[in-house]
Amino acid sequence: MKPWGIWLAGVLVAALAVGCTSEPAPDQAAAAPAHLAAPPAATASAPAARTIPAVLTVEHEVDVLAEHDGEVIELAADEGSKAETGSVLARLDDRQVEAGLEQARADLKISEYNVQYNEAELHANQARLERAQLMYKEGLGSKADLDTAEFMAKGSTYDLESWKANVEKHRAEVKSLEIEMQKTRVRAPFAGVVSRRYVRQGDVVSKGTKCFRLSQLSPLLVEFQVPETDARKPAVDQPVRGTLLSDPNRAFDARITRVSPVVDAASGSYDVTAALVNPAPELKPGMAVRIAWAPSSPPRP
């Protein structure tokens, strides 16, 4: 072969070699920059669920206040004690009220005795009046005797009415002091458990002083807020799920019991209340929780 033919054959072989090696190896293609890779196919996904912070609560939880001034002379309940409706939690010094009550009862008894005496006296004076009227009619008595008998009968009537009024007055005093006596007892307004005690034996309290905090342990509730703009609207009996803030693995179920008809202007949300379904014993009022609330999915195009 001529020299120029040999040179041309070499050029052709080199060109074929470059063409065969220009395609990248599989592992090199995998290492290509991400922004160069083809974008993944678009998929429709549901909106991400939001978590709403909330606190476990109960329908009834109040601070029980003293209704009377006095020294705490007895504590009948402590933190953790269970109480029935009307049960005594503490007793205040009631000696002064008791003394006034005894005096009022004695005055009432005297008034009742005087009513009985005046009823008998009125009966006797009315009999005298009848005799005086008969004697005057028969001409055996004077007009003066008749006038005296009428005066005595009327006087007895007025005395009797006066003592009857005294009886009602003293009965009212007794009832008022009995109410005051009841106020020296700090009582549970509903059945629950004492979650906090504010007073000690020997403390001198005044009317309105906080003595105990009473909590109703069931039903256990959770209150949270849902944005008014959310397309998914809560409804009564709708299930919700929550977790403890301290331990996200501890979940609980609840059902909506109440939805507020009013939107809070400051937050643009409205209150929702749900009752826990068979809550675990370790769940207590005041625990911080999170409620999972998934907005409704947008309609498919």
Bond before 219 cis per omega within 30 degrees: yes
Question: 50-58+216-293 with 61-92+185-215: one CATH topology?
Answer: no
97 alpha carbon, distance to own chain's centre: 32
Specify the pLDDT at position 48: 60
- What is the model's pLDDT at position 24? 46
Task: Flag whether the pTM goes above 0.85.
Answer: no
What order do you get walking across the sheet with 185-187 strand by strand?
A: 185-187, 88-92, 70-75, 204-205
User: With the C-alpha atoms ordered 207, 210, 216, 222, is the resulting torsion angle positive or negative?
Assistant: positive
pLDDT value of position 42: 42
Give domain 50-58+216-293's CATH superfamily: Efflux pump adaptor protein, beta barrel domain (2.40.30.170)
Neighbouring residues of 284: CB distance < 8 A, sequence distance ≥ 6: 56
The C-alpha atoms of residue 155 and residue 35 are separated, in whole angstroms, by 117
Domain range list for the chain: 50-58+216-293, 61-92+185-215, 95-183
Per residue in 127-164, pLDDT (tens digit) is 998 888 888 888 888 888 888 889 999 999 999 999 99
The predicted structure's pLDDT at residue 45 = 52
Q: From CA 176, how far away is CA 178, in angstroms rounded?
A: 5
pLDDT at 114: 93
How far are the Cα atoms of 20, 43, 50, 195, 198 from residue 72, in angstroms, in the given order?
101, 71, 50, 19, 12
**Distance, CA of 275 to chain centre:** 14
With beta carbons less than 8 A apart as the criterion, state whether 92 and 191 touch.
Answer: no
Question: What residues in the chain have per-residue pLDDT under 50?
Answer: 1-9, 11-44, 298-301
Which DSSP letter does residue 264 get?
Answer: B
CATH entry, 61-92+185-215, from 3.90.650.10, 3.40.50.300, 2.40.50.100, 3.40.190.10: 2.40.50.100
Q: Residue 296 has what pLDDT?
A: 55
pLDDT at residue 43, rounded to an integer = 46
